[in-house]
Structure 1
Amino acid sequence: MQYKLGELFCGPGGIAFAAINSSSLDGSFTINHEWANDYDRDTCATYTHNICKGNGNSVIHEDIRKLKMEKLNPINALAFGFPCNDFSVVGKQKGIDGIYGPLYSYGIKALKHFQPDWFLAENVGGLRNANDGQAFSQILSEMKNAGYVIVPHLYKFEEYGIPQARHRIIIVGIRSDLSEKVSFKVPSPKPYSNIDNSCKNAIENPPIPIDAFNNEMTKQSAKVIERLEHILPGQNAFTADLPENLKLNVKGARMSQIYKRLNPSKPAYTVTGSGGGGTHIYHWKEPRALTNRERARLQTFPDSYKFIGSKESVRKQIGMAVPCQGAKIIFDAILNSFAKIEYESIEPNISE
């Protein structure tokens, strides 16, 4: 059985790459790309280059509010990482009252229109708290009313061998008429407990090839270099013992990631796609920001994965993506569920 996957808010292809490389243990269930949509041109170009091998007809560059779903090919699986801007704890958390918050409704619209066998939806952990928790309850309710039995869970990807502390809510839904025979369970992180998920291991083993895509160095000012030389691994601009001339004159901003250097023995802190100076993720030893390729490794993209666009566009794409290897674990579990193959699982940590 090969599922035809449609994707909304597809991003640069972290979910898609995971999906097309997933299968049930016996190989009887797999996933194939059918179509994808995103509003960002560079993102669509990256997705097309890596997932569709240059055939961009199935990747629709369009604002989802203008997307005509009835013209898209039928699918029996759906993925949508609906925009997190209004749900992130880094932002203002306007939730469903913001510009991006209501866009989840297009995922619900797709569920009702296509009635896929299953879906996977992804968002930030802050989704649970937006609008005093009402946004999350509303989204889950609409997914169930669209005809699905859902399993929401806050995945801490570092527990699954991913070299990054990235916490994301993933909601898996099985169509109600199939749920008596198919039961999805949250995959256990236990099989991945012995993986070296330190950021140092991810970035250095194996060494990044000299001619790797997207590996340009970021130019640092002399002052930034001097500041970084006073910051120890794991420290940031506010916890380090900085001379007065190197301290940040910023009131009310104590974001822990500002000029924070990685701790080489631990997973990286969360790779983000937004923010300006001081938020680029900084090497534990060298006084510099990570390259985009190093950031992509923390997101478990292979070195052969080419991101298209300016350096800042690529930085944003990588930060907004889902870690490929983390998503693959969940897709494998979905496919094993349909194949009736048992796998080690845990109880979901979010109640409906």
Structure 2
Amino acid sequence: MDSTKDFTYKPKIVSIFSGCGGLDFGFHMEGYETVWANDFAEWACKSFAANFGDVIRYKDITQINPYKDKTIPECDLVLGGFPCQDFSIIWKQPGLNGTRGGLFRHFAEFVDGKKPKAFVAENVKGLLTANGGKAIDTIVKDFESIAPGYVVKPHLYNFAEYGVPQFRERVLFVGIRIDTGFDFVHPKPTHGPNGYLPYVTAGEALVGVEQVSTNNELINIKEKTKKMLELIPEGGNFTDIPKDNPLYVKGMISHVYRRIKRDEPAKTIIAAGGGGTWGYHYPEPRPLTNRERARLQSFPDNFIFEGNVTEVRRQIGNAVPPVGVREVAKRLRPLFTGDYKPVDLMPEYEKMKTMTIKQRLEYVTAQMN
């Protein structure tokens, strides 16, 4: 065996905008180790610490200087989901003009300051169209400009196609430092019609969940809500309530009073919202518990969430499904163990810099086939 290869090495992660740790956990499942993390949500930090140990710092990232802060260790990989509220298709899209959208630049500063071999950044599908496409174009160009240069490959994932019992679309940016010569290609789907395994269904994911003691409190609901749910079939939502029924409601978005369909993945689990947005069980007329929501997000039962019911809901809904990123973590691992043949990345780097975002996305997808 080549002496430069170390198949036992645990690649070191610096994680920012870490939340409760869904993205990190997916990489830990493939042998990585988070050595430093940061978030500005207190209870999310407590959950992260409960599952990963005392490596997370509860602090405003705008008050952290990755160039000068000597407490931040060197790393192989910078990982994180920079705030997405200003890019989400659910809300208006100020994008880079929003106070939160601009936080992605702090992610870029961490990459610039630590110079990892690679980075992985996650965001919502709405980023692809925010600011008429200018947001994602600016983000990619900022990442590419970090010396000595990074080949940046964005791809839209549907995590149900990678073993998550939930249809959840998210953009993953994978950046590879040019001088590594590592030819990264996004992994093909493993599940569903484009994979070699069937989807993991909501029904399969929830088997035996009632036996789990942690984060599994039943949510109190009004009798009126229960009666509404009894009018909604499996897989349906508020639109299934007959218009002539006194309980009929209108003018709502599709995830309101949405019930699971047991023979397919769940629809997207969301982090917050008013009445009717919890996600609902079938056949029982009730909201999903947080542990059921965590199962649909592919968290194991021994992953502990700290905080009250509403706070835990927020953490679960904001998280990256850990199982969904395992294939990416697996595909990147040879970069850190040395088990690959280097290539000259400069031609691809120069070629991609001339592409529009649409062309880049098409190019990245074509590489997978």
TM-score using structure 2 length: 0.85
Partner of 1:187: 187
User: Which whole-Å CA distance do the structure 2 matches of 1:65 and 1:218 have between them?
Assistant: 36
Closer, same or farther: CA 289–242 of 1 in aligned 2, 3 Å: farther
- The answer to whether the 8 Å contact 2:20/2:45 transfers is yes
Per-residue CA deviations over 1:241-292 (Å, capped at 9, x if unaligned) read: 25531012x5xx3311100111111110001102111110011211001000
Letter in 2 for 1:261: R
Per-residue CA deviations over 1:108-146 (Å, capped at 9, x if unaligned) read: 101111100111000001101000000000000111111
> Aligned match of 2:12 in 4, 10, 13?
4
Partner of 1:17: 25
Aligned: 1:67 with 2:64:
yes
| Helix, strand or coil at the partner of 1:307 | coil
| Helix, strand or coil at the partner of 2:246 | helix
CA-CA distance at 1:166 after TM superposition: 0.3
User: Which whole-Å CA distance do the structure 1 matches of 2:158 and 2:212 have between them?
Assistant: 33
Stretch moving more, 317-326 or 195-204: 195-204
- The answer to whether the 8 Å contact 1:186/1:347 transfers is no
- The answer to whether the 8 Å contact 2:163/2:190 transfers is no
Closer, same or farther: CA 211–160 of 1 in aligned 2, 3 Å: closer
Partner of 2:203: 200
Letter in 2 for 1:138: T
User: Which whole-Å CA distance do the structure 1 matches of 2:241 and 2:363 have between them?
Assistant: 40
Letter in 2 for 1:198: T
1:93-132 mapped onto 2 (5 Å cutoff): 93-132=93-132
Letter in 2 for 1:188: K
Partner of 1:310: 308
CA-CA distance at 1:94 after TM superposition: 1.1
User: Which whole-Å CA distance do the structure 2 matches of 1:68 and 1:125 have between them?
Assistant: 29
Partner of 2:263: 265
CA-CA distance at 1:209 after TM superposition: 5.1
Closer, same or farther: CA 174–128 of 1 in aligned 2, 3 Å: same
CA-CA distance at 1:210 after TM superposition: 3.0
Closer, same or farther: CA 87–114 of 1 in aligned 2, 3 Å: same
- The answer to whether the 8 Å contact 1:15/1:322 transfers is yes
* Unmatched runs of 5 consecutive residues or more in structure 2: 1-8, 342-361
Per-residue CA deviations over 1:152-198 (Å, capped at 9, x if unaligned) read: 100111112211000000011111111x3x11111111465424411
Letter in 2 for 1:277: G
User: Which whole-Å CA distance do the structure 2 matches of 1:195 and 1:219 have between them?
Assistant: 35
Number of aligned residue pairs: give it: 330
Letter in 2 for 1:2: K
* Unmatched runs of 5 consecutive residues or more in structure 1: 23-29
CA-CA distance at 1:347 after TM superposition: 6.3
- The answer to whether the 8 Å contact 2:258/2:279 transfers is yes
Stretch moving more, 124-133 or 58-67: 58-67
Stretch moving more, 256-265 or 309-318: 256-265
- The answer to whether the 8 Å contact 2:212/2:301 transfers is no
Partner of 1:288: 286
CA-CA distance at 1:239 after TM superposition: 3.5
Per-residue CA deviations over 1:204-224 (Å, capped at 9, x if unaligned) read: 1xx025342100001110000
Aligned: 1:349 with 2:349:
no
User: Which whole-Å CA distance do the structure 2 matches of 1:153 and 1:211 have between them?
Assistant: 35
User: Which whole-Å CA distance do the structure 2 matches of 1:160 and 1:16 have between them?
Assistant: 16
User: Which whole-Å CA distance do the structure 2 matches of 1:196 and 1:134 have between them?
Assistant: 34
| Helix, strand or coil at the partner of 1:246 | coil
Partner of 1:213: 214
Aligned: 1:231 with 2:232:
yes
Closer, same or farther: CA 295–305 of 1 in aligned 2, 3 Å: same
User: Which whole-Å CA distance do the structure 1 matches of 2:79 and 2:21 have between them?
Assistant: 11
User: Which whole-Å CA distance do the structure 1 matches of 2:229 and 2:275 have between them?
Assistant: 13
CA-CA distance at 1:231 after TM superposition: 0.4
Partner of 1:81: 81
| Helix, strand or coil at the partner of 1:164 | coil
Stretch moving more, 331-340 or 137-146: 331-340
CA-CA distance at 1:350 after TM superposition: 9.1
Stretch moving more, 231-240 or 297-306: 231-240
User: Which whole-Å CA distance do the structure 1 matches of 2:204 and 2:190 have between them?
Assistant: 20
User: Which whole-Å CA distance do the structure 1 matches of 2:366 and 2:168 have between them?
Assistant: 17
User: Which whole-Å CA distance do the structure 2 matches of 1:194 and 1:341 have between them?
Assistant: 27
Closer, same or farther: CA 112–196 of 1 in aligned 2, 3 Å: closer
- The answer to whether the 8 Å contact 2:231/2:240 transfers is no
Partner of 1:177: 179
